[in-house]
Amino acid sequence: MFLAGAAAVAVTACSDDSTPSAPTTSTNAAPTKPSSTTASTTTTSATTLPSIELAADPFTLGVASGDPDTDSVVLWTRLAPLPLEGGGMPADDVPVLWEASATDDFASIAASGQEVAKADSGHSVHAFAELPQGTWFYRFRVGQYTSPTGITRVAPTDATEVRFAAASCQHYEAGYYAAHRDLAEHAPDFTLWLGDYIYEDAGTVGGDPAARIHLDAEPTTLEQYRNRYARYKTDANLQAAHASCPWFVIWDDHEVENNYAGLLPQEPDDLSEFEARRFAAYTAWWEHQPVRLPPPAAAGEEYRIYRDATWGELLTLVLLDGRQYRSDQACGDAVLDLEPACAEAADPSRTMLGDAQEQWLVDTLTDSSAQWNVIGNQVVMANATLNGAVLNYDQWDGYPVARERLLASLDTAGIQNLIVVTGDIHLAAVAHLRTDDAAVGVEFVTTSISSGANLDPQLTDLLKSFPDLVDAELAHRGYTLHTVTPDLWTAEYRVVTDVASLDSEVTTYSTYVVESGSNTVAPAP
């Protein structure tokens, strides 16, 4: 089923000889380096760990890495011998060894360290591995068990090319993860995850396909969110995609609840309990993602996930949080309403990012010296209104003053080669970003990994007729593979033929290019 190489890594049996293969390169985010990380001299590992009694192999959720900078990367796993039953670990903290090597047989260990998988953090592990720039194999060991092997990269200070995947929206019940299998086979330098890693709705009587069922009620507690993440992370193709390269991860709404805004739930009747629910969801998100962040501190408090990274002199990458600071959706959060927008939508006090994050975004890109400036963004930024009607108030169309202010600020600051990479809407699209006066950048919207279409594919030609939309593909699931050089940005849209088939073919729908300095996008020759 899998090609040899990275896709096979995450599903390798737990032994000392898991085997992957991969390319080279990486990025920069706010570093904090715990003392538990120990970079060693290159040496053959002879570490013996105390035996531990567990219900089964604890590495059922695979391994992952993320948020690489120029001298370190975060290595992740979570111990869960009974993943769908709260994890199945004893109530004790457990020591876990991580190891990194230049070869997949781990004959020589380039760096290693010991972390504590804490019971009150779901026995999750975030190891900050200090490593030289380049490609590394890594694994974890606990007691008599050894994890599958992953491949990671430490960010370069110099890069003449980078290839990264952009992906979002992987509703477990909606279909299989053939897109993740294809992503792992392509082994990009990194993956940019744009949100909706899990979906919070209750399990159905039968999924489509029937084997893909959430199993339980809508999560509201920490244990329930842990079980929901475990349901997703036991998927072999998702594990393969994580094991093939480091990820930069941000959230959207379904990691908590559909269309929530700040501390406002979708249903007003749920307000009294929502603060605790959001804290549980944010905590579970941190426990399950390879992020260079501390865990959330307390219910109701800000949990800052917006951050920046670099990839040599090629990319400055800013990762947004479009949920925690936004004003509530305007006009009753109407969808596909063809009436002109209500007056509330144009209120200048309304915000998508909040004042602090918006100013941080402009300042970060103003200070950037990279050739390309990239925004990892949750919801469609381009103008997709129809004769003054806002078709989706959850998108930037529902925050038009904030959008115009942001794009005008970026234009005034002289930000060059602006690329916005977006998820959320379960369709593929290419768009120009404009202010009233100028072309500011290009937006690439990636379709969903598996989540079903939000719009009837019969509306494809209508969307293509919108002035700022260059192309749209509404019928298929997939992801986008971006290849970037100093002179050219290339976006290849990979689409799944049949999301209901585990072995579905994945092909290229179309490829678009942006020439450096042009602020315009066109089909590849």
Residue 2 Ramachandran class (φ > 0 left, ψ -120 to 50 alpha, else beta)? beta
C-alpha–C-alpha distance, residues 145 and 290, integer Å: 21
Residue 470 CB-half CA count within 13 A:
20
Number of domains in the chain: 1
C-alpha–C-alpha distance, residues 272 and 258, integer Å: 17
C-alpha–C-alpha distance, residues 124 and 228, integer Å: 15
- How do residues 349-401 score in pLDDT, each as one tens digit? 999 999 999 999 999 999 999 999 999 999 999 999 999 899 999 999 999 99
pLDDT: is 52 or 181 the higher one? 181
CB 122 within 8 A of CB 88: no
In a domain, 1, yes or no: no
> Residues of the chain with pLDDT > 70: what percent?
90
Pairing assessment for the beta strands 190-193 and 162-167 based on DSSP bridges: parallel
C-alpha–C-alpha distance, residues 133 and 70, integer Å: 6
How high is the pLDDT of residue 211? 66
Confidence band, pLDDT 50/70/90 cuts, at residue 3: very low
- How do residues 402-441 score in pLDDT, each as one tens digit? 999 999 999 999 999 999 999 999 999 999 999 987 899 9
Amino acid at the residue 476? H
- How do residues 195-237 score in pLDDT, each as one tens digit? 999 999 998 755 455 568 898 899 999 999 999 999 999 999 9
Averaged over 5-29, what is the pLDDT? 35
Confidence band, pLDDT 50/70/90 cuts, at residue 111: very high
In a domain, 136, yes or no: yes
In a domain, 302, yes or no: yes
Q: Which of these, 149, 125, 110, lies nearest to 15 by C-alpha position?
A: 149
Question: Does position 92 have pLDDT exceeding 90, yes or no?
Answer: yes
How high is the pLDDT of residue 210? 52
Question: Does position 19 have pLDDT exceeding 60, yes or no?
Answer: no
CB 525 within 8 A of CB 512: no
Residue 264 CB-half CA count within 13 A:
12
Averaged over 187-191, what is the pLDDT? 98
- The CATH number linked to 104 is 3.60.21.70
3-class DSSP assignment, residue 355: helix
- How do residues 478-498 score in pLDDT, each as one tens digit? 999 999 999 999 999 999 999
In a domain, 281, yes or no: yes
- How do residues 314-339 score in pLDDT, each as one tens digit? 999 999 999 999 999 999 988 888 88
Q: Which of these, 265, 303, 315, 226, lies nearest to 28 by C-alpha position?
A: 315
Question: Does position 20 have pLDDT exceeding 50, yes or no?
Answer: no
Could you tell me the CA-to-CA distances from 516 to 196, 317, 493 in Å, in that order? 31, 16, 20
- This prediction has a pTM of 0.91
Confidence band, pLDDT 50/70/90 cuts, at residue 47: low
Tokens standing for 192?
A: 């940019």
Confidence band, pLDDT 50/70/90 cuts, at residue 343: very high
CA dihedral 379→362→296→143, nearest 10 degrees, is: 90
How high is the pLDDT of residue 321? 98
For residue 366, what are the domain limits? 6-523
CB 334 within 8 A of CB 259: no
Averaged over 113-121, what is the pLDDT? 97
**What contacts 211, CB < 8 A, 6 or more positions away?**
none
Question: Does position 32 have pLDDT exceeding 50, yes or no?
Answer: no
E strands, 41-170, are 63-66, 72-78, 94-101, 111-117, 124-130, 134-142, 145-146, 150-154, 162-167
Tokens standing for 82?
A: 């009974």
C-alpha–C-alpha distance, residues 186 and 125, integer Å: 27
How high is the pLDDT of residue 209? 54
Alpha helix ranges (H) inside 131-221 = 178-186
In a domain, 34, yes or no: yes
Tokens standing for 55?
A: 């219900």
